[in-house]
Amino acid sequence: MTLPRIQSLVLRRRVQAVAIALLVPFLAVAPLHLFMPASAKAHGIAAPVQVGISFSPRRAAYLGLDPRNAFTRLEAMHFRVIRLSTYWDEVSQSGYDQLDWLMNEAKRARQPIVLTVGMKSLGWPEFFIPASAMPASGLQRGQDAASDSSLRDAALAFVDDTVLRYRDNPALVGWQIENEPFNRAGPQRLWIDAEFLRDEITSVRQLDSHRRPLIVNAFSHFNLVFDQASARQGFDLRQWLGFDADSAERDGLAVLDRGDVLGLDVYTAIGYQFLGQDHMSHADSDWPDRLARVRDVARQQGKQAWITEAQAEPWESAPSPNANPKSTSPQAIRSIFANLKDAGFTTVLFWGSEYWLWREDHGDSRWTDTIKTILREENRAPLMTLSA
């Protein structure tokens, strides 16, 4: 979610929410739970956590890393799973060579992989639609990106090609269908509708005889102001008044079957610029309890709940890597992980692996050391099951 072009992401995707806070006169009637601390939990002895990461060769290259070397360095840390992404524009231009190498290397190393497929992938600008597939009239701001029939057909064909290419790779343990499809994102704040997502899901299930679980993820609850910026329905008065409202998490559960996975992307501090000034927004203090409630709903439906992104790199207002970030730190990584484990999550994928390597290459190993410590502490977690 956080990417090298952080300033663009913040200005285009999140600053609208700040304007809402300034313009809505009834902000004072927001629910009182916003100002209450998170309630204590008592889950007994927490189960060991399957710790994973996301990896993008694009983000690695942006930071000056060699993508292949970076991937093998991460493999050597023995994560339970690494999430990769298929970039449609890259495949259209250069073919599958880069992803082929990553998938073959994972197979060699017996490194479990989750692969994201579709038009929306990991990283800014979120949608990676090749020019050849773009509608002649383009896409309008706030539009459902899958509303154009020609684009839908082309995207489905791309998903099918990708599944057919990698379905027999034994390192692959799951497919993620799109990335945060029900959240508005990118410079045009596009999103993807449930009908098209179901078409993609049906196609993947039909093509993959190994019946791997499918994952649909969502940018999870941050705070009421910022939630409105990514919500596909825009401003929702019901949520501001404390009532249940539509949510990307609920929509994700609705398209999944038993045994599938709802992914939750969790950030606790986001920097942004507004009126030329740097600001930092923080998640509501009840965020662990909110996540635990979503996890419980998923379990009641016979579905899994993973943390597909846990903030473990800075999300600052400035676009370039920061030597002294305010939004997170190695200590904050330990804190967010402890909260997620206490909330009952047993699969947690950290976001920021490329950043940790960049810091290490510049003389600061605290970030990788923190992750390695967590991995040692959770080494009793079960391995991800590889397909036959």
Q: CA 342, CA 34: separation in Å to the nearest integer?
A: 21
φ, ψ at 230 (rounded to 5°): -100, -10
The answer to whether residue 255 sits within a structural domain is yes
The residues of the chain scoring below 70 in pLDDT are 1-44, 224-246, 319-322, 386-388
Number of domains in the chain: 1
The answer to whether residue 1 sits within a structural domain is no
Q: What is the maximal distance between C-alpha atoms in the chain?
A: 59
The answer to whether residue 388 sits within a structural domain is no
The answer to whether residue 382 sits within a structural domain is no
pLDDT value of position 374: 98
pLDDT value of position 249: 93
pLDDT value of position 18: 36
pTM above 0.85, yes or no: yes
Query: Domain containing 87: what range?
Result: 6-36+46-131+142-377
pLDDT value of position 324: 84
The answer to whether residue 136 sits within a structural domain is no
Q: CA 322, CA 303: separation in Å to the nearest integer?
A: 39
The answer to whether residue 386 sits within a structural domain is no
The answer to whether residue 324 sits within a structural domain is yes
pLDDT value of position 323: 72
CATH number of the structural domain spanning residue 300 = 3.20.20.80
pLDDT in tens, 1-26: 443 433 333 333 333 333 333 333 33
With a CB cutoff of 8 Å and minimum separation 6, the contacts of 136 are none
Give me the sign of the Cα torsion angle 125, 56, 68, 200: negative
pLDDT value of position 230: 58
3-state secondary structure the chain: CCCCCHHHHHHHHHHHHHHHHHHCHHHHHCCHHHHCCCCCCCCCCCCCCEEEEECCHHHHHHCCCCHHHHHHHHHCCCCCEEEEECCHHHHHHHCCHHHHHHHHHHHHHCCCEEEEECCECCCCCCECCCHHHCCCCCCCCCCEHHHCHHHHHHHHHHHHHHHHHHCCCCCEEEEEECCCCCECECCCCEECCHHHHHHHHHHHHHHCCCCCCEEEEEECCCCHHHHHHHECCCCCHHHHCCCCCCCHHHHHHHHCCCCCEEEEEECCEEEEEECCEEEEEECCCCHHHHHHHHHHHHHHCCCEEEEEEEECCCCCCCCCCCCCCCCCCHHHHHHHHHHHHHCCCCEEEEECHHHHHHHHHCCCCHHHHHHHHHHHHCCCCCCCCCCC
pLDDT in tens, 146-195: 999 999 999 999 999 999 999 999 999 999 999 999 999 999 999 999 99
The answer to whether residue 384 sits within a structural domain is no
